[in-house]
Every structure is written in C-alpha cells, then in structure tokens.
Amino acid sequence: MDESIFKVAAVQAVPVFFDRESTVEKACRLIKEASQNGARLIVFPEVFVPGYPDWVWNGPASQISLNQELYGLYSLKKRLKNIM
C-alpha cells in the first residue's frame, strides 16, 4: 500500500453543549467509527471541544455582553459543581 495516499474523514457533528466530558466521549466514538471505515486522518470543527455555542458571540450589540456573561456563569457553575 502506498503510504502517501490515505483516507481522511471530516467530522460534521455538533458537540454536547456545555458538557466537555460528554463531548470528548462523543469525539472518541466518532474517531473509532471513522477509523473503522478506513480513515487515517480525522478532523473536527474548530472548538468542537470545549463546544461553546456560536450564538454567544452573535446578536445585537446590546445583547452580546449579556450572552457572554450568561455563558461564563453557566461554565463557572459547571466547573464548581465538578470540584465540589
């Protein structure tokens, strides 16, 4: 087999929003599936992990800071829950 030719898989999936551990588990399942189908290089969308929703940065200028604050508070709450 010519080692310079190989199959590539581009993953088109959404993460498990606000849940890094579940997103990593999902990524592992997708990697396994792609490799079982012959892929030797598997790529994911940018920021698949930690998987923050892109709507945090969108919307009217008057709401962007609110969305960012809400996302930050949710993320902090989840982190604190994991260490307590």
The stretch 35-59 carries a mean pLDDT of: 80
Question: 41 with 9: CB under 8 angstroms?
Answer: yes
Q: Which residue has the higher pLDDT, 46 or 70?
A: 46
Tell me the pTM: 0.61
Catalytic residues: 46
pLDDT tens for residues 5-25? Answer: 899 999 999 888 878 888 899
How many other β-carbons are positioned within 10 Å of the β-carbon of residue 26?
19
Q: How far is CA 42 from the centre of its chain?
A: 14
Are the beta carbons of 27 and 49 closer than 8 angstroms? yes
Write out the DSSP string of 8-35. Answer: EEE------TT-HHHHHHHHHHHHHHHH
* Averaged pLDDT, 28-33: 96
